[in-house]
Chain A
Amino acid sequence: MTSASDTAAATATGPQPAASAGAAVPKASFDGWPVALVFGLMLAGWPLVGSTSTWLTLTMAGLAMGMIIFIIASGLTLVFGLMDVLNFGHGVFIALGAYLATSVFALMSGWTTSPELWRNLVPLFVTMLVAMSLAAAVGWAFERVLVRPVYGQHLKQILITMGGMIIGEELIKVIWGTTPITIEMPEALRGVVTFAVGSDTAAFEKYRIFATLVGLVVLAVMLFTLNRTKLGLLIRAGVQDREMVEALGYRIRRLFVGVFVAGSALAGLGGALWGVYQHGVLPQIGSHVNVLIFIVIIIGGLGSTMGCLIGALLIGLLANYTGFVAPKVAMFSNIGLMVLVLLWRPQGLYPVANR
C-alpha cells in the first residue's frame, strides 16, 4: 500500500498478461499489472467461450461472484494484515449468514412472493442487516474466547481457529439441521435482464446485478474508510508496522477487535448473499467457501485489500469460464491460477511490507 511495497512489487518480473494496462490503472501510483491480469483473463475467456453473448453473461456472473467473494474475504485479509492472525474459522460467519438468510426469508415469505420490487427488497435488506449484526456478535465472542489467548502463536492459532470452525459448524447443524435448505429468490429479482448483442442476446440475472451493486457499495465504503478517515489511516498504519502505531499511543488491540468484528459482519453479509446466489444452503457451505477465500487472499497477497479484490475477481471469472468450457477442471483451475500467480509473485499480487 505504500510506495515502498509497490515499487518492490513492480520490479518483480514475470509473464506479462495482455495489454490495456495503462487504461485500466485506477490510481496513478498504483502497480497496474494485477489489474491488467483481470482484463487479460476476460480477454482470454472471450475466444475460449466462443459466442460474445455467452461471454458477456459469464463475465457478469463472474464479476458478481467475485464481488461476493471479495466481501467475504476482505475481513479475513485485514485481520491477517493488522494482527498477523489467520482465522481458519472465518467460514463459520459465512455459514451463519447464509443460514440466517434462510430463516429470515422463511419468516418474511409474504414479502418475498410479492411482485413489487420494493416489497422484495425489504426482506433482502433485513436479511443483510440481521446477518451482519449477528455475525458481528458471534465474531466478537469468537475473538474474545478463542483468538485472544493465542496472539502471536501461529501454530496454536491455526489449530484453535480450526477447532472453532468445527464447533461453529456443528452448532449450526444442531440449530438448523443437516438437510439442505432451499432459498426462494424474491419475485422481482428472479429472471434475467436481456441485452441484444448483434443478432444474439446476452442474459444478466437480476440478482447478480443486485449482488454486484451491493459489492460495489461495500467496496466504496471500505475504500473510503481505509483511505479517507483517521480510523482507516490507523488500520493501514497498523498493517504496515503494528509496533510503531502502538508506540504512538493508539490501542491497537481495540482497533483489532473492531476490525475483527467488522470482518465477521462482512463475512455474514457475504454469506447471506452467497446463500441466495446459490438458491440454497448446505452445512458444508462454510468450509467450501473458506477454501475459495484462502485461495483468494493467497493470490492477492496476505493482508492486502486491493490484492483481495483482484484475487476475488480473478477467481470468480475463472470459475464461471471454466465451469462453462470444461466443468471437470473447474476445481483445479483455482489451484492452477494460485500456483501460476505464486510462481510470478511468491508473496501474492500485492505483497504487504514486512510480512
Chain B
Amino acid sequence: MLNRLLSHDLPRNRWLALLLAAIVLGLAFTPFLFPGTKALNVAAKVIVFVVLVASFDLLLGYTGIVSFAHTMFFGIGAYGVAIACTRIGPTWGAVLTGMALALLASLLLSVLIGLASLRVKAIFFAMITLAVASAFLSLGSQLSDLTGGEDGLTFKVPEALQPGTRYLDGPVLGASIDGRFLTYYLLFFAAAALVLVMLRIVNSPFGRVLQAIRENDFRAEAIGYRTVVYRTLASVLSALFATLAGCLLALWLRYNGPDTTLSFEIMLDVLLIVVIGGMGTVYGAVVGSALFVLAQSYLQDLMKLASLQLESAVEGVPVLAQLISPDRWLLWLGILFVLSVYHFPAGVVGRLRAMRGAAR
C-alpha cells in the first residue's frame, strides 16, 4: 500500500525515512503540537514550498534545465486566486475560476517559452526565462488596477476558510477548530496529493525519459525520443504545479503582492532548497523546504540579535556588524548556495542515500 502510494520510490535509507516521517508527522500535527500563529505560518510556508520546490525539481533535477521563471508561474497562481476573489467576491466559485484561469495562463506561457527556446539550446531557456520573468515582475507592479501594484492585494477567502468562522467552541487538544485550522488542513492534504502525483510522474516511463535527457540528451534523441517535446512537457508540467502552489499560498495568506510570490529572492530560495535537499529527488524538496524555511524563520531573528550585540560590543567595526545584519541574509544564502553546488551537489537526500550501505 505504502509502496504503491510512493510509486515504488521508497526513501531507501533508514535515517532518511525517519527524517521524512518526522517532517510529515510534524506538519500533520502542527496545530496541536505547536500552538501559536507563527508556528502555523511557518508550517504552512513549508507546505507551500514543498510543492513549489518539488515542481522546480521536476525541471532542474530531473530534466536538467534551469528556469528562472518559476516564481512567475507561482505568482500567476497566487494572483489568479487573489484577483478572482477581489473581483468576484469571497466564494468558492471565485477561487476555482481564479485557479482555472491561472492554470490556463501558465499553460499558454510555458508552452510559448518552451517552444521558443527549448528547440535551440537548453542554455537559451535559462536566459529567456530570466528575461521574461523580469518583464513579468515589472508588469505585476505596473498594472496596479488589476494587481494592486507594489502594495499587492488583500482579499477575503470563502467564509468556510475565514479565521472568524468557528466550528467548535473551545480548543480541542490545544488547537482552536476554526477557518484557519480548516485552511491549514486543506493546504496539507492538497500538497500531499500534489507531491504524490509528482512522485508518480517522475517514476513513470515519462519520468525515466526526462532523466535520460538529463544524462545525455543526444543519446535520448538517438533512441527515438523527441527531446524538445519532452522538455517542453516537463516545463509545462512544472509550471502547472507551481501555479497550484501559488493558489495554495494565496489561500493561506489572504494577500498577494510582487514581493511574496514574484520576487527574485524567492527564486533564489527555491534554487537553494533544491540544491540543499538534493537535485533529482522529490524527497529532497520535502527535506530541503523543511530545513530551509525553519532556518529562514528562526535564524534571521538570531542574526538580528547577534548583529545588535556586536554593534554595541565593537563600536569601531561597523562592517562586521553589517555583514551579519539580517538585511545581508541574501549574502550568506549566496555563499551557502555556491558552496553547496561545489561540495554538496547531491544534497541531503543524495548524501543519506549514498551511505545506505553503511546504515544497514
* Interface, chain A (partner B; CB < 8 A): 86, 88, 146, 149, 154-156, 158-160, 162-164, 166-167, 170-171, 173-174, 178, 287-288, 290-291, 294-295, 297-298, 302, 328, 331-332, 334-335, 338-339, 342-343, 346-347, 355
Q: Are A170 and B328 in contact (CB under 8 A)?
A: yes
Q: When chains A and B are docked, how far (Å) is the Cα of A174 from the Cα of B322? A: 7
- A294-B116 CB under 8 A given contacts A158-B123, A332-B135: no
Q: Are B66 and A155 in contact (CB under 8 A)?
A: yes
Q: When chains A and B are docked, how far (Å) is the Cα of A347 from the Cα of B123? A: 12
Binds A, one of B4-12, B97-105, B229-237, B334-342: B334-342
Does B22 sit at the interface, judged by CB under 8 A? no
* Interface, chain B (partner A; CB < 8 A): 60, 64, 66, 116-117, 119-124, 126-128, 130-132, 134-135, 138-139, 142, 264, 268, 271, 275, 319, 322-323, 327-328, 330-331, 333-335, 337-338, 341-342, 345
Q: Are B120 and A346 in contact (CB under 8 A)?
A: yes
Q: Are B135 and A163 in contact (CB under 8 A)?
A: no
A145, closest chain B residue (CB):
B338
- A287-B264 CB under 8 A given contacts A159-B341, A166-B330, A339-B116: yes
Give every chain B residue within 8 A of A156 (Cβ-Cβ): 341, 345
Give every chain A residue within 8 A of B64 (Cβ-Cβ): 155
Q: When chains A and B are docked, how far (Å) is the Cα of A154 from the Cα of B66? A: 9
Select one of A159, A290, A339 contacting B337, CB under 8 A: A159
Report the minimum CB–CB distance from A304 to chain B (whole Å): 14
Q: How many A-B residue pairs have CB under 8 A?
A: 96
Report the minimum CB–CB distance from B135 to chain A (whole Å): 5
26 contacts between A and B (CB under 8 A): A146-B338, A149-B342, A155-B60, A155-B66, A156-B341, A158-B126, A166-B268, A166-B331, A166-B337, A170-B328, A170-B334, A173-B327, A174-B319, A287-B264, A291-B131, A291-B134, A294-B127, A295-B131, A297-B127, A298-B124, A298-B127, A331-B139, A332-B135, A335-B131, A338-B131, A347-B120
Give every chain B residue within 8 A of A173 (Cβ-Cβ): 327-328
Q: When chains A and B are docked, how far (Å) is the Cα of A154 from the Cα of B121? A: 11
Q: When chains A and B are docked, how far (Å) is the Cα of A342 from the Cα of B127? A: 13
Q: When chains A and B are docked, how far (Å) is the Cα of A347 from the Cα of B66? A: 19
Q: When chains A and B are docked, how far (Å) is the Cα of A155 from the Cα of B268? A: 15
Give every chain A residue within 8 A of B123 (Cβ-Cβ): 86, 154, 158, 302
Q: When chains A and B are docked, how far (Å) is the Cα of A347 from the Cα of B119? A: 10
B113, closest chain A residue (CB):
A339
Report the minimum CB–CB distance from A232 to chain B (whole Å): 25
Q: When chains A and B are docked, how far (Å) is the Cα of A147 from the Cα of B124? A: 19
Give every chain B residue within 8 A of A178 (Cβ-Cβ): 327
Q: When chains A and B are docked, how far (Å) is the Cα of A162 from the Cα of B127? A: 11
Give every chain A residue within 8 A of B121 (Cβ-Cβ): 302, 355
Give every chain A residue within 8 A of B134 (Cβ-Cβ): 287-288, 291
Give every chain B residue within 8 A of A297 (Cβ-Cβ): 127
Give every chain A residue within 8 A of B322 (Cβ-Cβ): 174
Q: Are B333 and A174 in contact (CB under 8 A)?
A: no
A167, closest chain B residue (CB):
B334
Q: Are B338 and A164 in contact (CB under 8 A)?
A: yes
Give every chain B residue within 8 A of A88 (Cβ-Cβ): 126, 130
Q: When chains A and B are docked, how far (Å) is the Cα of A166 from the Cα of B337? A: 10
Q: When chains A and B are docked, how far (Å) is the Cα of A317 from the Cα of B117? A: 24
In the complex, the 3 A-B pairs of residues with the closest C-beta atoms, listed nearest first: A170-B331, A166-B334, A163-B338
